[in-house]
Amino acid sequence: MVNNQSNTNNPRLDYEYRRRKNAEGMRIQVATFTLMIFFTVISFAAVAAGFSKWFVIPVILLLAVIQVGFQLYYFMHMGEKGHEAPSMFMWSGIGVAFLTILAFVTIIWW
């Protein structure tokens, strides 16, 4: 993933390096953000343009999923070191969430 933390045990080592790395990380965050805005605009535009719903719905759902992935993995650093347990539990939660929603769109009638 991005801005992998240096593996040094001494946190005071190489202050300059860390500053640079943080700044680099921040640039990636901004790039991510730009993409997110871009996706959002596409979603809104697709709806505003009035395409068929069989086209629009999968597309905007896909974009939403990607965007949320960005939030989790970039803004919230879920893929980075030290996030093994968080990501396991988030994924489990997402699993339960998915099952719940799946059930509610299939076996609640109408």
Partner 1 sequence: MNADEKYTPQTWPEGPERATLEGKNKFLGFWFFLGGETVLFASLFATYIALKDKVPSPDHALAKDLFELPLVFVMTMLLLTSSLTSVYAMYHLKNYDFKKMQLWLVITVLLGLGFLGCEIYEFVHYYHAFDHTFTSSAFGSAFYTLTGFHGAHVIFGLAWFIALIVRNAGRGLNLYNAPKFYVASLYWHFIDVVWVFIFTVVYLMGMVG
Partner 2 sequence: MSTIAQKRGFASTIWDYLTTVDHKKIAILYLIAGGFFFLLGGIEAMLIRIQLAVPNNDFVSAGFYNELLTMHGTTMIFLAAMPLLLGFMNAIMPLQIGARDVAFPFINALGFWLFFFGGVFLNLSWFLGGAPDAGWTSYASLSLASEGHGIDFYALGLQISGFGTLMGGINFLVTIINMRAPGMTYMRMPLFTWTTFVASALILFAFPPLTASIFMLTFDRMFGANFFNVAAGGNTIIWEHFFWIFGHPEVYILILPAFGIFSEIFATFSRKRLFGYSSMVFATVLIGFLGFMVWAHHMFTVGLGPVANAIFAVATMAIAVPTGIKIFNWLLTIWGGSIKFTVPMIYAVAFIPSFVMGGVTGVMQAAAPADYQYHDSYFIVAHFHYVIVGGVVLALLAGTHFYWPKMFGTMLSEKIGKFTFFFFFVGFHLTFFVQHFLGLMGMPRRVWTFLPGQGLDTGNLVSSVGAAFMAIGVVSLLVNIVITTMKNERVGNDPWGDGRTLEWALPSPAPFYNFKQLPLVRGLDAYWLEKMEGKDTLTPAEPIGDIHMPNPSFVPVVISFGLFVAAFGAMYQVDDKPWAIPVLIIGLAITFGAMLYRSIKDDHGFHIHKEDLMEDDDDNKGVKA
CB atoms within 10 A of CB 41: 11
Contact 91/68 with Cβ under 8 angstroms? no
Q: How far is the CB of 1 from partner 1 (least distance, A)?
A: 15
Contact 2/74 with Cβ under 8 angstroms? yes
Q: Which of 1, 2, 4, 40 binds partner 1 (CB under 8 A)?
A: 40
* Positions 42 through 61 that interact with partner 1 (CB under 8 A): 43-44, 47-48, 53, 56-57, 60-61
Distance, CA of 77 to CA of 75 (rounded, Å): 6
| Coil, strand or helix at 98 | helix
Binding site for partner 1 (CB under 8 A): 5-6, 11-12, 15, 18-19, 22, 25-26, 29-30, 33, 36-37, 40, 43-44, 47-48, 53, 56-57, 60-61, 63-64, 67-68, 71-72, 75-76, 82-83, 85-86, 89-90, 92-94, 96-98, 100-101, 103-105, 108
